[in-house]
Amino acid sequence: GNLPLFDQDDISFQQGFGFQIRPKIDLSATETIGQRSIAPNDLTIGSSSDQTYFGGGFQAEGEFTDRLIGEASFGIQRSTLSSSSESFTAPVVGVSVEYLMRRDISADLSYAILCGVMNSDSVESESSQLVNFSVRHAEIHLGLLDTSRWLP
């Protein structure tokens, strides 16, 4: 089948604070505000509307060993479409594990539940699951491998 493609632009601002509760465990809280613009490349999938979003959440990061770092986050995001006054609220969840293969190369595996708009004519929230695996080189800030998969 055909895969409908679209262009997405995000502009956001995030602020927060954090503190260390144990020598290798950090907690933080953040709030985010932003705007997302989606433009379909295929006219058969319809039009889209800009979306303004506001959210907040909590994050915990821990260092399990010298080479293994983990992170978990939970938050809420409220979104409003520019084409209507309706809005929706949905959870945003993430878990990731990073393994330092060498001093300058790391591998990261992450899972996230994200929220979005399913239909631009009426507000229907849709939660999407995303799994991402990447390998990065720290000194030259280069992604050696980055692959993502949306789950049904």
pLDDT tens-digit map of 87-99: 788 888 999 999 9
Tell me the C-alpha distance between 44 and 8, whole Å.
Answer: 17
The whole-number pLDDT of residue 148 equals: 66
Q: Whole-model pTM above 0.75?
A: no
pLDDT averaged over every residue in the chain = 80
Distance CA 84, CA 82 (A): 6
For tokens 């939970």, name the residue. 74
Of 69-73, 81-85, 124-128, the range with the lowest mean pLDDT is 124-128
Report the SS3 class of residue 96.
strand
Greater model confidence, 12 or 97: 97
| Average pLDDT of the segment spanning 121-143 | 71
Please tell me the distance from the alpha carbon of residue 98 to that of residue 81, in angstroms, as a whole number: 35
pLDDT tens for 20-66 read 999 999 999 999 999 888 777 766 666 666 888 899 999 999 999 99
CB 39 within 8 A of CB 48: yes
Q: What is the pLDDT of residue 118?
A: 46
What pLDDT, on a 0 to 100 scale, did the predictor assign at position 4?
A: 58
pLDDT for 129: 81
Is pLDDT of 122 > 80?
no
DSSP symbol at 67: S
Q: Any idea what DSSP says for residue 128?
A: E
